Structure 1
């Protein structure tokens, strides 16, 4: 399913947090949102999964306005894993995953045998079938994230929104979670802190700074030394992964007085080079 975000703007308490953000994701692409803390990544995703209503602009799924849909219709198309999803639930794993079926249930809302089979398949898909009867609070961080991804898969959406899905996970768990997301073949929007993970797994990156898109494209095009110095305030050395060829980054501190603009925030001046993808731009490749 194609996702088109057009001129999205968000204001909270009179402060502009997003400035006319435009983003496009082709069917099946994994799109990464990267940027420093406070750059607007989570705000943008909250608009996409309708936890926040924008002051302007639209979010469209295959051309249909997401915010004009009723809650059930929207939940059948889009599932989200927000940061706050890591809160403790006093449920079993099977009960957590079964919540993903609610948008598809009518009347009494009782789960059917078909629902139970879909949930079991989702758990098996993320390698967590053996956890079905475990209590969710007693799981490790990586196990919890697998279960929450299974819940999203059980929802049978066509778009998946992930806000920092690898937070608090060790490196092996981070790689496993992003591999699961990649293998889902859904259209995915994911906010990521780790630029090397983003470069390895994403088809395209959108860089946010001060509530604006300042760069967009394939990872090797976007993650330049100049951009990383200006936006993240670090000196970066680009290398190629010896097996995959993906861009990998080594970081140093910048020399004193160089790099990131002082005082940049969501209400400050626009950073150089805002990016709005043209309407006739070709879809980025989707390697699988």
Structure 2
């Protein structure tokens, strides 16, 4: 399911946080948004999963404008993992993941055997099946993140939107989660801080700076020393991974003028 963002602009209290952003995520692609803190990545993603209404522009999923869909229709197509999730009630992990099934249930909510199997499979896929009976609030940050990803997968969407999905995860879990997202076959749009994770896992990256797209394309073509110096203020050394040959980046401070 393709995602199309056209001329998206977000202005809040007179400040333009995102300006005239146009990008595409092709069906089954993992598309990364990278950029400095405050560059507009999260604001852009919040428009995609309808937590924020843009001042101008549109978001289309499968060619259909997101604003024309009901909340239920939108939730059947798109699942989101925001950067900050507030949980006030101590549901069990199994109950938390089961919330992902709500868009597929009628007004008289009743969990079916299919719902239970879907939730169990989602938990197992993120290596959290053993947490099913734990209270969500008792989990570590990394465990919570894995459970929330499982909830998104249990929703059985066609599009995943993930804002810093590797936050709070150790290195092995970061690699596992992004490999899982990439292997899901879903169209995924994700903001990432770690440029090496973006280079390894993303089909396309969009570098956002000051609310605008500074560069777009395959990671190897986009993450150049010149661009990284200009946007991130670092000196980058590009090296191939010794086994896969994938782009890896080593960083130094820019020399003083």
Asked if these proteins are the same fold (TM beyond 0.5), I'd say yes
The 1-side partners of 2:89 and 2:184 are apart by 25
Mapped contact 1:21–1:213 kept (Cα < 8 A): yes
Mapped contact 1:145–1:177 kept (Cα < 8 A): no
TM-score normalised by L of structure 2: 0.97
Mapped contact 1:9–1:57 kept (Cα < 8 A): yes
Mapped contact 2:145–2:168 kept (Cα < 8 A): no
The 2-side partners of 1:15 and 1:86 are apart by 26
The 1-side partners of 2:88 and 2:222 are apart by 37
Q: Find the counterpart in structure 2 of residue 261 from structure 1.
A: none
- What is the root-mean-square deviation of aligned Cα atoms in Å? 1.2
TM-score normalised by L of structure 1: 0.87
Q: Find the counterpart in structure 2 of residue 120 from structure 1.
A: 120
Mapped contact 1:30–1:204 kept (Cα < 8 A): yes
The 1-side partners of 2:170 and 2:98 are apart by 27
The 1-side partners of 2:80 and 2:25 are apart by 16
Mapped contact 2:31–2:205 kept (Cα < 8 A): yes
Q: Find the counterpart in structure 1 of residue 75 from structure 2.
A: 75
The 2-side partners of 1:224 and 1:83 are apart by 27
**Per-residue deviation, 1:140:** 2.5
Matched ranges for 1:130-149 at <5 A: 130-149=130-149
Matched ranges for 1:10-49 at <5 A: 10-49=10-49
**Per-residue deviation, 1:164:** 0.5
Q: Could you say if the C-alpha distance between residues 94 and 222 of structure 1 is closer, same or farther in structure 2, counting changes exceeding 3 Å? A: same
Mapped contact 2:236–2:249 kept (Cα < 8 A): yes
Matched ranges for 1:158-177 at <5 A: 158-177=158-177
Q: Find the counterpart in structure 1 of residue 107 from structure 2.
A: 107
The 2-side partners of 1:230 and 1:197 are apart by 20
The 2-side partners of 1:126 and 1:224 are apart by 33
Q: What is the DSSP-based 3-state SS (H/G/I as helix, E as strand, rest coil) of the residue aligned with 2:33?
A: strand
Matched, 1:150 2:150: yes
Mean Cα deviation higher: 80-89 or 212-221 = 80-89
The one-character-per-residue Cα deviations of 1:83-141 (angstroms, maximum 9, x if unpaired) are 11265651100000000011111121222222112111211222222211111122222
Mean Cα deviation higher: 169-178 or 22-31 = 169-178
Mapped contact 1:236–1:252 kept (Cα < 8 A): yes
Mean Cα deviation higher: 171-180 or 46-55 = 171-180
Matched ranges for 1:239-258 at <5 A: 239-257=239-257
Mapped contact 1:34–1:192 kept (Cα < 8 A): yes
Identify unmatched segments of 5+ residues in structure 1. Answer: 258-288
The 2-side partners of 1:93 and 1:139 are apart by 9
Q: Find the counterpart in structure 1 of residue 199 from structure 2.
A: 199
The 2-side partners of 1:177 and 1:126 are apart by 7
